[in-house]
Amino acid sequence: MKHVLLVENHSIVRLATLFIIRDVFPAVTSWETDNFPDALHIVSTRRLDLIVLDINIPDGEGFQMVAKIRRLQPEVTILVFSDIDEELYAVHYLKAGVNGFLSKTSSTPEIRIAILSVLTNGRYVSEMVQQILLRRNITPGMRQSNPLAALSQREIEVMDLLLEGKWTKEIATLLNITGSSVSTYKLRIFEKLGVNTVIELYQKVSTLRE
């Protein structure tokens, strides 16, 4: 019997995902939620084998969600299933501690393979992510075609919050770092992306993500 939590704010996606999971593992007990606070409550009260986690959910906390889940259930398998940019975010989420990263544009057979892989082998990455990891390992100094790929995990967190309109003090509180650290990360982001203001940052990122 597999115990699965689906954290996804679109009911049709939850239904389709659960259908695929039950096709792979017929004996499944499942819980569903559309927001992160409720997800944490379920994680704290139920022993789980698999968490299928969307990143863009109400009250989501980016990379911090992984750390909070791991503090409650260190051994649980976490599969990110999201529409965020796989090329930009997948490696960072794998480093943050998830077992797999799957794009919502994936085909049904690939979703089935991903679920089976994380629950049997403990790991899944798409062919795209495999190529990214291979390039980084073979040529670690190679310049990335997309400058967003040069950002660190923390820089991405700060950038996303800046793009949401958060101020330095708010970002410091959300990420549990000092205001001066936020300013340092902001400066690094601006330097790497060649911008001088948050407005220019928004325009640059919008172009790079098209």
- Answer whether residue 83 shows pLDDT above 60: yes
N- to C-terminal Cα separation, the chain? 42
CB 99 within 8 A of CB 123: yes
pLDDT tens across 91-148, in order? Answer: 889 989 999 999 998 999 999 999 999 998 889 988 888 877 776 665 555 455 678 8
* Together in a domain, 169 and 119: no
* Predicted structure pTM score: 0.80
Domain membership of residue 16 as a residue range? 2-134
Total domains in the chain come to 2
The CA distance from 5 to 200, in Å, is 39
**Which token pair is 51?**
């968490």
* Together in a domain, 118 and 85: yes
pLDDT > 90 fraction of the chain, expressed in percent and rounded: 55
* Together in a domain, 70 and 20: yes
* Together in a domain, 128 and 185: no
Query: What CATH number does residue 103 fall under?
Result: 3.40.50.2300
pLDDT of residue 41: 97
CB 52 within 8 A of CB 8: yes
**Which token pair is 178?**
């000092």
* Together in a domain, 81 and 163: no
Amino acid at 17: T
Give the highest mean pLDDT range of 49-53, 163-167, 195-199. 49-53
* Together in a domain, 178 and 78: no
